[in-house]
Amino acid sequence: MTTKTSEMDKPINNSRKDLTEFDHNRATLRDKNIFPPLYVNATISLVEALKRGDVRKDNHLMVIERNDWMLALLTKQMIYHHVAQGKMAGEPWMVSL
């Protein structure tokens, strides 16, 4: 006796690593951004930002490491913008929160 497994009987696993294609039905696409991206045109060292008061010791930071470069963004800015982008060593980068 054999038992056929129907599609309904198969477990559903919607983890992100199992998704191989972009599902446009799940996307919310708009003609205009609700929150403008944070364009990073220039950077300074974290030590300098602390000295100038641009960053305080109690600020939360989002740290990105790419190749040999590290970039720290203020979490409070990312909460508003949701997306930051720029170039590091001539290579484009983009992060989202």
Task: Give the C-alpha separation, 77 to 57, whole Å.
Answer: 16
Question: 1-51, pLDDT tens digit by residue?
Answer: 545 555 555 555 555 556 567 787 887 777 777 788 899 999 999 999 999
The contacts of residue 6 (CB under 8 Å, 6+ apart) are: none
Strands annotated E in 26-90: 38-40, 61-66, 69-74, 83-88
In the chain, what is the straight-line distance between the N-terminal and C-terminal CA atoms, in Å? 53
Beta strands 69-74 and 61-66, pairing class: antiparallel
pLDDT reported for residue 45: 92
Question: 52-64, pLDDT tens digit by residue?
Answer: 999 999 999 999 8
pLDDT reported for residue 11: 55
Domain boundaries, the chain: 32-96
Confidence of residue 88 (pLDDT cuts 50, 70, 90): confident
